[in-house]
């Protein structure tokens, strides 16, 4: 039995949890339609104050960091494709992005924050 109880803060409105899931789905859809990640990051920033103080805040932070770091590494990958290392960078970025989405969705479904700050 696990006795380590983590207080993740107030229980958020179920609609905000659903919104967080929709944002993850928008990021996932960006593999097919890249513009959905732009929509997702905009929603992240617009709705960020509404989840502040709940465990969903950590998911929003996770999503925002995932977007910006994957954008950075993707740009570097594209710039360096002419020397072939860029393809490795792009592949690694894609794997990392998928990992972040899967881990985030699994924690969201289990009502867990991404990390305790």
Q: What are the tens digits of pLDDT across the range 32-63? A: 998 999 999 999 999 999 999 999 999 999 99
Tell me the CB-side half-sphere exposure of residue 41, using CA atoms within 13 A.
Answer: 13
End-to-end CA gap in the chain: 24
13 pLDDT exceeds 90? no
Whole-angstrom distance, CA of residue 83 vs CA of residue 22: 37
5 pLDDT exceeds 50? no
How high is the pLDDT of residue 8? Answer: 55
Whole-angstrom distance, CA of residue 116 vs CA of residue 24: 20
What one-character DSSP code corresponds to residue 13?
A: P
SS3 label, residue 7 = coil
């Amino acid at each position: 039995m696990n006795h380590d109880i983590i207080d993740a803060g107030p229980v958020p409105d179920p609609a905000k949890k659903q919104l967080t899931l929709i944002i993850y789905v928008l990021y996932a859809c960006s593999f097919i339609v890249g513009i959905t990640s732009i929509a997702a990051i905009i929603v992240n920033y617009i709705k960020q104050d509404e989840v502040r103080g709940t465990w969903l805040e950590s998911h929003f932070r996770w999503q925002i960091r995932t977007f910006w770091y994957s954008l950075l590494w993707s740009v570097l990958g594209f710039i360096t494709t002419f020397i072939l290392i860029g393809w490795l960078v792009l592949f690694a970025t894609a794997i990392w992005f998928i990992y972040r989405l899967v881990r985030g969705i699994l924690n969201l479904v289990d009502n867990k924050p991404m990390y305790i700050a």
